[in-house]
Amino acid sequence: MASCKLVLVLVSITQPRPARPDWLRAPAPGGQNYRELKALIDGLKLHTVCESAACPNVGDCWNRRTATFMILGNVCTRRCGFCAVEKGAPLEVDYDEPRRVAEAVAAMGLRYAVVTSVNRDDRKDGGAELFAATIRAIRERIPGCQVEVLVPDFQGSHAALEIVMNAQPDVLNHNTETVPRLYRQVRLGARYERSLDMLAHAKCIAPKTPVKSGLMLGLGETLEEVRDVMRDLRAHRVDILTLGQYLRPSPKHLPIVRYVQPAEFEDLRRAGMAMGFAHVESGPLVRSSYHAAEAVA
């Protein structure tokens, strides 16, 4: 009797990665303005979220001589699944950094500056004092320059947020990033309700200061979940909203579930305006500080 061999073939079934669409393209970094700005940033030993977070708009923005400064070092104390910023033990606080940021703003001729930071959960105030110092340094160096700050959640500390708001930023931005259902995968260490509370508290402290927030799409959320977050943001008195496509920085980061169509972004923009937002910037390449000055013009 002939022997029979049973051969088991194991097939790994993986979800195919969606192909990047042709309409999702950004200019490659390069050009005279880009090179000059890179030399300025490097020379002043500053960090930008443009480079540290691998923003796809760095070529476009730097050629227009705009950038988003990142204070408090370039090492984050949190390990969010979407972010390209380095994680680990944070750097020492550089108290000369606000002066150098102001010097860069002056050299770039900016009339609208955007400042953000890594999370600094190692500090009681989360780095709020450096935000306040940077706002004041820019104003002293370039009177009349508007300053938008994109702040972390300061672990829910109202006292830390008040330090920033007392320096009178022209716009207070804090991103909710995604829908509540995805927080554990996307925003490790953050809480949706905490972010809403901080946004509302900023408006309570300074009712006339525009408050801003933003979300990334394409991580597995539904459009109805996005609309629910938009309604929550309006209920917490957020004035300006940004909506953009999540782009995976590396294979170690969260995968892209889908590419949201431009028409869907436009539908969400219209829905946001109908909800009462003063401005909605919505599109595949939109990021927190994308066309920031135009939102408050």
Q: Over 70: is that where the pLDDT of 156 sits?
A: yes
CATH numeric code, 32-295? 3.20.20.70
Q: Decide which of 90 and 210 is more confident.
A: 210
Its sign, for the CA torsion 110, 116, 117, 121, is: positive
Measured distance between the N- and C-terminal CA atoms of the chain, rounded to whole angstroms? 87
Would you state the structure tokens that stand for residue 280, as one six-digit string? 């909605």
Indicate the range of 23-37, 53-67, 246-260 predicted with least confidence. Answer: 53-67
Contact 138, 170 (CB under 8 A): no
Average pLDDT, the chain: 86
b/e burial code for range 134-161 (CB count within 10 A of at least 16 → b) = bbebbbebbeebbbbbbbbbbbbbeebb
Task: Render pLDDT for 253-297 as a digit per residue (tens, 0 to 9).
Answer: 888 999 999 999 999 999 999 999 999 999 998 988 877 887 776
* Confidence class for position 251, pLDDT limits 50, 70, 90: confident
**Which candidate, 267, 276, 260, 296, places its Cα nearest to that of 24?**
260
Task: Render pLDDT for 72-100 as a digit per residue (tens, 0 to 9).
Answer: 988 877 777 666 667 788 889 999 999 99
pLDDT at position 175: 95
* Confidence class for position 154, pLDDT limits 50, 70, 90: very high
* Confidence class for position 224, pLDDT limits 50, 70, 90: very high
pLDDT at position 8: 42
Please compute the mean of the pLDDT values over residues 180-189 and round it to a whole number: 89
* Confidence class for position 162, pLDDT limits 50, 70, 90: very high
Q: Specify the residue for token string 């909800």.
A: 275
The full set of domain ranges for the chain reads 32-295
pLDDT at position 41: 87
- CA–CA–CA angle 159, 164, 166 (5° rounding): 90
Please compute the mean of the pLDDT values over residues 32-58 and round it to a whole number: 76
Tell me how far CA of residue 232 lies from CA of 127, 132, 196, 229, in angstroms.
27, 28, 8, 5
pLDDT at position 296: 79
Q: Decide which of 111 and 25 is more confident.
A: 111
Please compute the mean of the pLDDT values over residues 121-129 and round it to a whole number: 94
